[in-house]
Amino acid sequence: MKTLAEVAKLVRSKNAGPFWLTLDVMFDDLATYEAVRDQHVITVELISRLYGQSPEQVRLFTHDSALAIKVSLPRPHSSGSPMDTDVFGGQQYAPLLDLPVQIESEDTHDNS
């Protein structure tokens, strides 16, 4: 068992315009990407629970040619508005890092 932080090449978050937030989980080999995709490590229900948003608001994509999984959700406050906490939306990915992934190979990054 590994964590998403250990097996991903990059986990990041960023604004998608001032009203949306987007989370990208990227891999550098097909096997790891497919393992995370096929084990449904990231689901709409999970994101909804972790981020306290209703599932109808959460959009999930798997991008095979980019070896990436993407999640988009509306921002609670628009970028740079009075109650916003993160103008670029750049530090909103941490809740994903400890998600468990079943990986047998030891040939992965160690970002822990």
Partner 1 sequence: MLEPLPLVAATGMLGSGFREESIDRAIALGVRMIGCDAGTTDFGPHLLATGNSQFSRAAVKRDTAVILAGAARAGIPVVIGSAGGAGGDVNLAWMRDVVLEIAREQGLHFRLALIRSEQTKATVRDLLRDGRVVPLPPAAALSDDVIDDSLHIVAMMGAEPIQAALDGADVVLAGRSSDAAIYSALPLKLGYGPAISWHAGKILECGAAAVAQRAAPDSMVAVLHSDSFDVFPLRDDYRCTPQSIASHTLYENADPFRLTEPSGTLVTLESEYAAINDRAVKVTGSTFEPAARYGVKLEGARLAGWSTIVLGAIRDPLIIRQLDGWLERLDYNLRERLRKTVGDAEPYQIGTRVYGRNGVMGDLEPVNSVEGHEVTVLWDVISGRQELSHSVAASLSHMALHNPIPEWHGLISAVAFPFAPSEVDRGPVYEFHLNHVAFPETPTSLFPTVFESV
Q: Which residues bind partner 1 (CB under 8 A)?
A: 14-20, 22, 24, 26, 28, 49-53, 57, 59, 61, 63, 65-68, 70, 72, 74, 76-88, 91-92, 94-95
Structure tokens at 96: 């994903």
Of the pair 17, 100, the CB lying nearest partner 1 is at 17
* Tokens 């509306």 found at: 74
Of the pair 66, 104, the CB lying nearest partner 1 is at 66
Of the pair 88, 104, the CB lying nearest partner 1 is at 88
Minimum CB–partner distance for residue 74 and partner 1 (Å): 4
Minimum CB–partner distance for residue 88 and partner 1 (Å): 6
Distance, in Å, from the CA atom of 79 to the CA atom of 103, rounded to the nearest integer, reads 37
Minimum CB–partner distance for residue 27 and partner 1 (Å): 9
SS3 100: strand
**What's the number of CA atoms in the CB half-sphere (13 Å) around residue 109?**
16
Strand residue runs (E) in the chain: 2-3, 10-15, 20-26, 59-63, 68-74, 100-101
